[in-house]
Structure 1
Amino acid sequence: MSSPDTLLSGVALITGGASGIGRATSLALVSHGVRRLGILDIDMVKAEETTLELKSKFPDVEVILVHADMANEESVITGINKIVQNFGRIDYAVNNAGVGGKLGPTTEISGSDFRSTIDINLIGLWVCQREEIRHMLKQEPLENGSAVRNRGVIVNMSSMLGAVGTCAETPAAAYCASKHGIVAITKSDANYYGPENIRINAICPGFVSTPPMLHALRQSEIMKAELQKVPLRRFAKPEEIAEGVCFLASPMSGYMCGAAMLMDGGYTAQ
């Protein structure tokens, strides 16, 4: 059994928390003190696997799994309500669920493919944030021993492609549009709800060494070339991005509101 630190406390909710960055973030939230965690995901098999791993390392953690489809508004609303009904509040919300969508030049992408990516990555996230804020507005700040007291904190998963476009070799207009949109939603709602003591920020990862990305790196000369553009000459580990999420959720970032924090190994600094 691992002993958690106390950087975080209270209730955390994460969408897409079953695999990749989401799984690493679920583990990181608990390792930093969260003991009540709600995971919303469309893949219940992987969600169960993540829950078993969490409980094996932290036997006292309480995890609620909810099947939720980010493209279905009612599914999202029902899922978030279930977490609140069980835990009573949401102190940290990590809106991580998303898809890469269909890659290709704009002239070769159908309207339905474009809309599908936007529906999941952007509108789905916005619905999550709307419902999370509605619940946070009803709750008192969490007593966490810090001078900084928030009614709730939201961290949205954008991308370095929320700051720049893709290279010509990997066109992805819909994905870029969705990730730029996440930054815009983050900034807009952070401005409006900051006075209500709700902090909202986005995190913008670069290339992350998830299994699909590692496979692409082995098979694709394009991805090998992209790796050479990263000043650190490596892809991020999911755990590194997860620690960034926890930083944005914690009192350590208490004066950050409406920020889009890049974690890209220096890719966009060139």
Structure 2
Amino acid sequence: MDFKNTSYIIMGGTTGMGLSAAIALNDNGANVVVVGRNPESCKKAQETLGDNCIAISGDATEPETMKKAIHMAHDTFGVISGLFHVAGGSGRKWGDGPLDKITLEGWNKTMELNLTSLMLSNQAMTNYFLEHKKEGIILNMGSVLGFSPSPKYFTTHAYAAAKSAIIGFSKSIAAYYAEHNIRVNVIAPSLFITPMAKRAAEDAEILSFLKTKQPLDGGRPGASEDINNAVLMFLHPESRFITGQVLAVDGGWSISEGQYQ
């Protein structure tokens, strides 16, 4: 796909699925600004992506981070075509889990990481499009856990609530801003090999469960590259007639029962 004369911001784009998407966009001619929390990851991402991309460090939960990325992208590339918001994470270490055990800190931190950060990036990007009277695309990262729970191995109810809220939020703003040709869509992956999924990816029992829960391609966890074609489709300017949609990239998770040993 031809992405020449386009530029994108990827919030959470210095590792995992965000970095994979940045590489795919770059390979197809797009300019990319990637934002990540860890300065060392930003440095590595910059080396990987090369000179026509920019990696900056910042906290997605801080309003100024996205504003800084927008200013840098606009000043460097002259146009911003869209946003891919990937940033988020597990709240387990703060107390996310089953409802009867969730701590208030676990709830609040999970919402901040996954929902507040996304609201801030979406708001800043929308304001940019409106200010410059431009059409554009926002693609948000959801999760199959937002609509297809798995109670034995993946019980983090605050995380599921946040990811479900991303769908409602995205559809609502897609409807409101459609008249401005601002498109908003969601990708919902299942279990992928990412830093956040380390617990599950190293658990032999969970990997055995995946054989029947996400049975495509031998029943394996997803690799970061598995989302790239979906990302490119949604972000491409010619996908101008698609908005308010949720696409599960899940290896069959949401249509499979999953068998316990």
Which category describes the TM-score, using the shorter chain as reference length?
0.7 to 0.9
Question: TM-score of the superposition, structure 2-length normalised?
Answer: 0.88
* Greater Cα shift, 217-226 or 23-32: 217-226
* Greater Cα shift, 204-213 or 127-136: 204-213
Aligned counterpart in structure 2 of residue 64 of structure 1, from 54, 58, 71: 54
Letter of the structure 1 residue corresponding to residue 22 of structure 2: S
1:80 deviates by 3.2
Write the mapping of 1:97-176 to structure 2, written as runs, cut at 5 A: 97-102=87-92, 103-139=96-132, 141=134, 151-176=135-160
Write the mapping of 1:110-259 to structure 2, written as runs, cut at 5 A: 110-139=103-132, 141=134, 151-210=135-194, 213=197, 216-232=200-216, 233-259=219-245
How many residue pairs align between the two structures? Answer: 251
Query: SS in structure 1 opposite 2:186?
Result: strand
* Greater Cα shift, 119-128 or 7-16: 7-16
Structure 1, unpaired ranges of 5+: 56-60, 142-150
* Greater Cα shift, 7-16 or 21-30: 7-16
Structure 2 contact 210–221 (Cα < 8 Å) conserved: no
d(CA) in 2 for partners of 1:247, 1:8? 15
d(CA) in 2 for partners of 1:129, 1:230? 30
Structure 1 208/9 Cα, relative in aligned 2: closer, same or farther at 3 Å? farther
Letter of the structure 1 residue corresponding to residue 166 of structure 2: I
Query: SS in structure 2 opposite 1:253?
Result: coil
d(CA) in 1 for partners of 2:33, 2:153? 38
Structure 2, unpaired ranges of 5+: 257-261
RMSD of aligned Cα (Å): 2.0
Structure 2 contact 14–55 (Cα < 8 Å) conserved: no
d(CA) in 2 for partners of 1:45, 1:22? 16
1:215 deviates by 6.4
d(CA) in 1 for partners of 2:198, 2:117? 27
